[in-house]
Amino acid sequence: MSNSAQEHTQAVRVINATGLASYETSSLFQIDSNFDASTGKYVVLLDTVVSAFGQVLQIRDGARILPLLKGPDFRNLDPPRFAAALDSILDVVVENLPVTEETSSASTNDTDTTEQQQSSTSRNTPATNSRSPQTATASSNTTSPTFSDPNQQDTYSQVNLGDKHAKGDGVEQDYQAALTFYLRAAERDDAASQHRVGLLFGEGNGVPQNSSSALEWYVKSAQQGFAPAQHSIGILYLDGNGVSQDYAKAMEWFLKAADQEHAEGQWGVGRMYEDGRGVAQDNTKAREWYQKAAEQGHAESQWRMGYILDCGLDVTKDQKRALEWYLKAAAQGHVLAQRNSGLLYKNGQPAIQDHVKAMGLFLKAAEQGDSKAQFELGRLYEEGLGVAQDMSLALQWYRQASQPGISDAMLYIGLLYKNGDRVGQDYTQAMDWFLKAAILGDMEAQFLVGDLYYNSQGVPYNYPKSMEWFLKAAKQGHASAQFFVGEIYKKGQGVPQNHIKALGWFSKAADRNYVDAMFELGHIYRDGRGVAKDGVVSKEWYRKAVNQ
């Protein structure tokens, strides 16, 4: 396994098998976690847990039993490992809780003294990572963990109960109950609980939404060094919720979290540099911070790294590396990464093109409601790329994509009906769909609406209407529309004949290498329509047209 230079710790607590049915908790321990390049995740080695706690029955994240990670051959990786959940507390389930001489003595003889000492210590020791400061430590060298006092156990019991009610994990979801449990722990200066209370106020779950109250709780937590709270304060300043918008302060708080390797904080710093908010715009620094977060498995940053390389934003364009980052984020369900990786497989360099893989990724994004991915599925079915050509399925995907207002989907539905590609030619339907897209500003659809009016397909001849829609598209730079505006002025169809205006529009189309417009310009200079006759210029336009 390849590790990065930076290490992180995973918070765990040990419970016995019978404790699963209750909310019994044990002490909190920190287990070494390392970045595994082969999986793109932070992982914990199973041997590390076993050496610390003995026979392990299972490892759970809430109600979910964590599986061992597998390789491409679906076999467990060697050495065995499981994915870390750095912002969560994992339960290590053992047959019997280990009891040490120290903990036995503390529980029978010195309970009161120990409670006072540890309570005092926990309130005066700032957290140095993104989890609560009130933790014991276990590493690969630990064989006899020490348990904390009952106050600590009760605090984490309250957090655990709060989490279960907030998530509806084994109980009915109840934010007010979650708030009650979080407050009990928060009143003992538990930083994670203070942050959770702030989140409930910030999101209006279980209490009326109140950004000012959220800020108060975030500050309590952040003052203990709790990185997620520092990030949350940054978000409030960024958006101006409960405070005056202040990009400099947002950047300050994002940096506090980022300096503790908090991925969301690193992402925030990257966005501030990219957008030039609260700091001088700097794409290089933005990319550096995105990469830090991306290497921790932060999906949004992985997508952004892919996008930067895909578009060549102040870096050499590299579709292969872009695809690698997109796929990491796509594997975590990031919808834009799924779509973008699909686009690279569909349209990218020949070395990475794979229409079957494109289809699979578009499907994943489409299932999440991404209308642009739904449109791309329609394109694959229409063109028969990576799948058997099926105009009926293409039409179905186009229709689904059109519902949120994707003009490309509307345009292609119209084209299917106009051309009659296995769906039955229907100019009336084509006009309906072209109009929907044209109203949204799609210049190709605007041209096609004008074309149907011009050629009386599905509607009576209507040159003024045709001119209206041709002009809309022509003003957006549509070469065919520019040519037909010139034709209408040349012939005086529904408008007064005007050779000078015709010349102007033919020139615009010719500048876009529209061959018919070049020939028309040759005719105009040959015949002297709206301009003086000029055989030299006429021949030059004919030559350009022939050479296209």
Does position 385 have pLDDT exceeding 60, yes or no? yes
Instruction: Return the bridge partners of 91, or none.
Output: 13, 60
**pLDDT band at 146; cut points 50, 70, 90:** very low
Q: Across all residues in the chain, what is the average pLDDT?
A: 86
pLDDT tier at 58, thresholds 50, 70, 90: confident
Exposure string of 460-478, with b = 16+ CB inside 10 Å and e = fewer, is eebbebbbebbbbbbeeeb
**Residue 441: band (very low, low, confident or very high) from pLDDT cuts 50, 70, 90:** very high
Residue among 172, 131, 171 at smallest CA distance from 13: 131
**What domains lie within the chain, and their CATH numbers?**
7-148 (no CATH), 299-404 (1.25.40.10), 477-548 (1.25.40.10)
Single-letter amino acid code for the residue at 100: T
Q: What is the pLDDT of residues 269-312, one digit of tens each?
A: 999 999 999 999 999 999 999 999 999 999 999 999 999 999 99
Q: Kindly indicate the confidence band of residue 95, based on its pLDDT and cuts at 50, 70 and 90.
A: low
Q: What is the pLDDT of residue 56?
A: 81
Q: How far apart are CA 484 and CA 498, in angstroms?
A: 13
pLDDT of residue 134: 31
What's the pLDDT score for residue 7?
Answer: 56
Rounded CA-CA distance 171/118 in Å is 32
Q: Rounded to an integer, what distance in angstroms lies between the CA atom of residue 403 and that of residue 3?
A: 46
Distances (CA, A) of 211 to 166, 208, 218, 232, 243: 19, 10, 10, 11, 8
* DSSP secondary structure string for all residues of 304-333: HHHHHHHHTSSS---HHHHHHHHHHHHTTT
Strand partners, 32: 9
Query: For residue 128, what pLDDT is reported?
Result: 31
User: With 0-12 CB in 10 A as exposed, 13-18 as middle and 19+ as buried, what is 337?
Assistant: buried
Give the pLDDT confidence of 395-404 residue by residue, as tens digits: 999 999 999 8
Regarding pTM above 0.85, the answer is no
What gap in Å lies between CA 304 and CA 274, rounded to an integer?
A: 11
The full length of the chain comes to 548
CA distance 313 to 335: 21
Query: SS3 for 89?
Result: strand
Integer Cα distance of 433 and 427 in angstroms = 10
The alpha helices in 31-110, defined as continuous H runs, are 46-53, 101-108
Longest dimension (CA), the chain: 114
Model confidence at 121: pLDDT above 70: no
* pLDDT value of position 97: 56
Q: What's the confidence (pLDDT) of residue 425?
A: 92
- Locate tokens 């009336």: which residue? 428
* pLDDT at position 61 over 60: yes
CA distance 394 to 409: 10
Neighbour count for residue 21 (Cβ, 10 Å): 8
Each residue's pLDDT tens digit, 226-282: 999 999 999 999 999 999 999 999 999 999 999 999 999 999 999 999 999 999 999
Q: Does 18 have pLDDT greater than 60?
A: no
User: Does the pLDDT at position 102 exceed 70?
Assistant: no
What's the rounded mean pLDDT across residues 382-396? 95
Higher pLDDT among residues 343 and 114, named by residue: 343
Residues 260, 250: Cα–Cα separation, whole Å: 16
pLDDT, position 40: 77
pLDDT confidence of residue 104 = 35
Q: Using CA atoms, how far apart are residues 304 and 307, in angstroms rounded to an integer?
A: 5
Instruction: Check residue 76 and report its DSSP letter.
Output: B
> CB–CB of 145/98 below 8 Å?
yes
Residues 6+ apart with CB under 8 A from 302: 294, 325, 326, 328, 329, 332, 334, 337
pLDDT band per the 50, 70, 90 thresholds, residue 338: very high
The candidate with the shortest Cα–Cα distance to 50, out of 79, 71, 9, is 79
Q: Which tokens is 247 given? A: 């990009």
Question: 514 and 544 in contact (C-beta within 8 Å)?
Answer: no
DSSP letter at 70 equals B
Strand-strand pairing, 28-36 and 41-45: antiparallel
The rounded distance, in Å, linking the Cα atoms of 324 and 286 is: 19
Q: Which of 71-80, 134-143, 483-492, 514-523 has the lowest mean pLDDT?
A: 134-143
What pLDDT is attached to residue 105? 36
CA distances from 63 to 66, 92, 164, 166, 330 (A): 9, 12, 9, 13, 25
**Which of 116-130, 234-248, 328-342, 517-531 is predicted least confidently?**
116-130
Q: Residue written as tokens 């310009």?
A: 521
Q: How far apart are CA 391 and CA 161, in angstroms?
A: 53
